[in-house]
Structure 1
Amino acid sequence: MHPAEHRDLQPRGGDPDPRAGDRPAAAGGAARPRGRPPPAATGRLATGRGTRFRGRVSVDASVIVVSWNARELTLRCLDSLLAQNHEVGFEVVVVDNGSTDGSVEALRLRRDARLIELGHNTGFACAVNAGIRATSTPVVVLLNNDATADPDFVRTITAPLLADADAERGGPRLGATTGRVQLSGAFEPAAPTDPAALVSAAGKRWVRVDAGAGVTLLNSTGNEVTVSGNGRDRDWLAPSDGPGAPADVFGFNGGCAALRRLALDDVGLLDETLFVYYEDSELSWRLRRGGWSVRHVDEARTVHDHAASSGERSTVFLDNNERNRLSVALMHAPWPVVGRGTARAAGRALLGPDRRRRLLVLRDVAARLPGSLRRRRAVDRAARVPRQVVARYLVPDGGTR
C-alpha cells in the first residue's frame, strides 16, 4: 500500500501501521476516476456523462456500487436507483473490481452512472474507498450490487445525515445510518438435514421456496457484534412483518448504509487489509470509539439476493469471514472477547471439520497480529470513547429469533 493511500485508513492522530501478512491493496487507491463531479449538476440525478432530468440541484450524496462479475444484478441495481423519487440530488458511482462477464462493457454504455475500472479484484473495501476518494459529497451511500433499492431509499437513508447540523457544531454526532434489508424471495422452515438451509442466530432453519408460497425474511437492520467477537446482521432471518427495529444499533450494514464524509475524515475509510467481510464491523468500531453514533432508518429499504456475488459457502467467504472476525476483535474488542473468540476458533480448527483450512486461517491471523495490535494502539490513542463503553453494545452469541 502506498503511503498516501495508507493515511486514509488511519484514525485521527494514528500512526501508519505496517501489517504483516496483508494482501496487497494498493489498487484501490490507484484507480484513475474520470474527474470529480461539479458542486451542482443539471438534473435531480447527477451522472458522469449526461443528465436525465431538468432543473438544477446540488449533489448531496454519492451512491457507490461495487461490481464484480454479476452483470445483470448490477444493471438491475442501477435501474432501481434510476427509479428513485428524486428529492435529494445524488450521483451514482460504480467501481468495477475486474469483472470478466461483460459487466464493464455494459456499464460503459450507461449514462446514469460514473464508472471506475480497477482492472482486477481488489476486494470490497478497496473498491468502496476508491469510490469515496473519487467523490466529494457530504454523504456517501453504500449499496450492494445484488440489491434493489425502494424508490425512497436514497432520500430516507440520507435524510438524518443531511438534516443533522450538530456534527458541524461539535454536538452529538451522527456518523452513519443503516437501512432495512429484506431477503429476496420467500421462505419456509427447513428440515434439519437440508444443506441449503439458512440458519438464524437462534438456530431456526429456513429454505427458499417459490415466490408467494412462504414468508418473507429480513437480512439486516444493522450490524451487531457478539461477546465472542462475531459480527453479524441484526435481525438476520427475522420475519419481515414484525415490529420495526430500534433506531440505536452498534454499526451499519456495508451494503445498505449512508456515511457522513466528515466522520470518515475523522476516523478513516474502510480497512483495505480485510479484503472482504467485516469491513463494516471494523469501521463501526472506529466510529463508535470516535464518538460518532449509528442510527437504523427503518424506512430506508432494499431487497437483497444474499451472497449472490461471492457465495456464502465458498472458500472466499469462509476464509475471509473467519480470519477477519479474529483480526477485528484483536483491533478493537475487550481482551475477554478476544479470548473467547480465539478459543472458539481454535476448538473448531482442532476438533471440527475442514481442519487444515481452519488451521491455515489461524496461521494467517497470527501473521497479522503485529499489525492488528498496532492498529489497536493507534485507535486507543485517538479515541474519544473508552472501549468498555462501546462494548456495552455487545450481544449474546445466541439469538431469540
Structure 2
Amino acid sequence: MAEPGSTRVSAVVVNWRQPKLTSAAVASLDAQTGLAEAGIALSVVIVDNGSGDGSPELLRSRHPEHTVIELPDNRGFGGGVNAAIRGIHADLVVLLNNDAVADERFIASIVAPLAAHPRAAAVTARILLRDPVDGVRRVNSTGNELTRSGNGRDRDWLVPVADDHRSAGEVAGFSGGACALRMSALTEVGLFDESLFMYYEDTDLSWRLRRRGWLIRYEPGAVVTHAHASSSGTGSDLFRFWNDRNRIVISAQHAPLPVLVRALARTSFRAARSVVAAAGRGDDARHDARRTVRALAAALGALPSAWAERRRIDRSATVPRRSVAAFIVAD
C-alpha cells in the first residue's frame, strides 16, 4: 500500500512468448533505487499477450509479488498496455519493453520531470542498444520523431554513445519502449489505439497529447538498455507489414496533407517496385512483394476510419496541427 502523499507509479511490461527476457526486465524494476527518497510507491504489472506457451505460469512463479494479467489472445503492444492501465490505480504509468533492462535509477529519473513540469504528459528515456554495432556502443532512441514522408523513427538512432550529448528538454514524441505517462493526461485523450496493433502507437498518442496542449520531454538520466526488436525482428513479416500500414494511417490521422501524400507515394512505389522485381525470381521475392502490397491495401482500407478520427481529433484539439507539425524533420 502506498504511503500517504507518495506518488503511485505502476510499471507495465508486456510479454509475448519471451518469458526469460520479460523476467530480466522485471528483475531490473525490482532492483530500482532512490524510490523512497523520491516518494515513489512502485508496483509492477506483467501482461501476457496470449502467448500460449506457459509464459504466465513461469512469470508468476518467478515474480509472485507482482500482478500477472493473462490475456486470451495477442492484442499487440497497445492492447496489452491498455489492459494493464484499465485495471490499475496510479498517478503515473511507466512502460518498459520486455526486451529492455532498466538502469537502477530509471524509475526515479523518469518520474521526476513529470513532477517538475505540470503540463508534461510523457517523459521518454535514453534507450541504448544492448549489442554494439560495428564494434561501437550506440543509441537506440532519445525520443520519437516524424519525417516529411510520414516515417516515424527513433531520434539519434545509431549515434555512438560517446557522442550523445542530448540534454533534457522537449521532444516531438515519446518511445513506448521506455517512458512515463501521466494518468490524468491519458484520461483526457484516451489510451493507445489498439487497431494499430504494433508500431506507431506511441507516435499516435504523442500527436493526440500535443493537440490537447500537453508536452513531451526527454530525460537523459533515465537509461535503459534494449535488445532491439527481439520479439518481432526487424526483418519479419510482422515488423514490415505493421510499419508500412501504420505509417500511412498515422499520417492520415494527424499529419499535414503533403506528408500523407508522400507516405502514400513512398509505399505505393515500393509495392510496385517489389512486384516488378519479383517477376521471374524466387519465392522469397514474391513473398516480399505480396506482403508490401497487403500492407498498402490494408492502409488504404483503413483510410476512411483514419480520416474520421482526424476530424474527431480536430474538433477537440486546443493546439493547431501546424504547431505540432513544426516538429516534423527531413527524411
* SS at structure 1 position matched to 2:326: helix
Deviation at 1:162, TM superposition (A): 2.9
Summarize deviations over 1:243-299 as a string: whole Å, max 9, x none. Answer: 422422100000100001111111111001001110000001111111111000000
Q: CA RMSD in A?
A: 1.4
Deviation at 1:356, TM superposition (A): 2.4
Q: In structure 1, what residue type is equivalent to 2:250?
A: V
Deviation at 1:328, TM superposition (A): 0.5
Q: Give matches, 1:68-83, under 5 Å.
A: 68-83=16-31
Q: Give matches, 1:85-234, under 5 Å.
A: 85=33, 86-87=35-36, 88-109=40-61, 110-164=63-117, 166=118, 173-188=119-134, 214-234=135-155
Deviation at 1:61, TM superposition (A): 0.6
Summarize deviations over 1:329-351 as a string: whole Å, max 9, x none. Answer: 00000000001111111111101
Check 1:395–1:276 CA distance in 2 against 1; reply closer, same or farther (3 A cut).
same
Structure 1 counterpart of 2:321: 387
Unaligned runs of 5+ in 1: 1-37, 42-55, 167-172, 189-213
Unaligned runs of 5+ in 2: 278-287
Asked if 1 retains the 8 angstrom alpha-carbon contact of 2:124 and 2:175, the reply is: yes
For 1:218 and 1:243, locate their aligned partners in 2 and report how far apart those are by CA, in whole Å. 8
Asked if 2 retains the 8 angstrom alpha-carbon contact of 1:139 and 1:162, the reply is: no
285, 290, 295: which one pairs with 2:212? 290
Structure 1 counterpart of 2:298: 364
Asked if 2 retains the 8 angstrom alpha-carbon contact of 1:218 and 1:240, the reply is: yes
Q: In structure 2, what residue type is equivalent to 1:229?
A: G
Asked if 2 retains the 8 angstrom alpha-carbon contact of 1:59 and 1:91, the reply is: no
Asked if 2 retains the 8 angstrom alpha-carbon contact of 1:57 and 1:89, the reply is: no
42, 49, 62: which one pairs with 2:10? 62
Asked if 1 retains the 8 angstrom alpha-carbon contact of 2:78 and 2:198, the reply is: yes
For 1:185 and 1:364, locate their aligned partners in 2 and report how far apart those are by CA, in whole Å. 34
84, 98, 101: which one pairs with 2:32? 84
For 1:241 and 1:119, locate their aligned partners in 2 and report how far apart those are by CA, in whole Å. 44
Structure number with higher helix proportion: 2
Deviation at 1:163, TM superposition (A): 3.8
For 1:220 and 1:243, locate their aligned partners in 2 and report how far apart those are by CA, in whole Å. 11
Summarize deviations over 1:14-53 as a string: whole Å, max 9, x none. Answer: xxxxxxxxxxxxxxxxxxxxxxxx5x26xxxxxxxxxxxx
For 1:69 and 1:229, locate their aligned partners in 2 and report how far apart those are by CA, in whole Å. 31
Asked if 1 retains the 8 angstrom alpha-carbon contact of 2:97 and 2:177, the reply is: yes
For 2:9 and 2:67, locate their aligned partners in 1 and report how far apart those are by CA, in whole Å. 14
% identical aligned pairs:
48
307, 322, 332: which one pairs with 2:229? 307
Summarize deviations over 1:56-81 as a string: whole Å, max 9, x none. Answer: 88452100100111011011111111
Deviation at 1:102, TM superposition (A): 2.9
For 1:100 and 1:183, locate their aligned partners in 2 and report how far apart those are by CA, in whole Å. 29
Deviation at 1:101, TM superposition (A): 3.3
Q: In structure 1, what residue type is equivalent to 2:289?
A: R
For 1:382 and 1:139, locate their aligned partners in 2 and report how far apart those are by CA, in whole Å. 24
Deviation at 1:187, TM superposition (A): 2.2
For 2:211 and 2:77, locate their aligned partners in 1 and report how far apart those are by CA, in whole Å. 23
After TM superposition, the score normalised by the length of structure 2 is 0.91
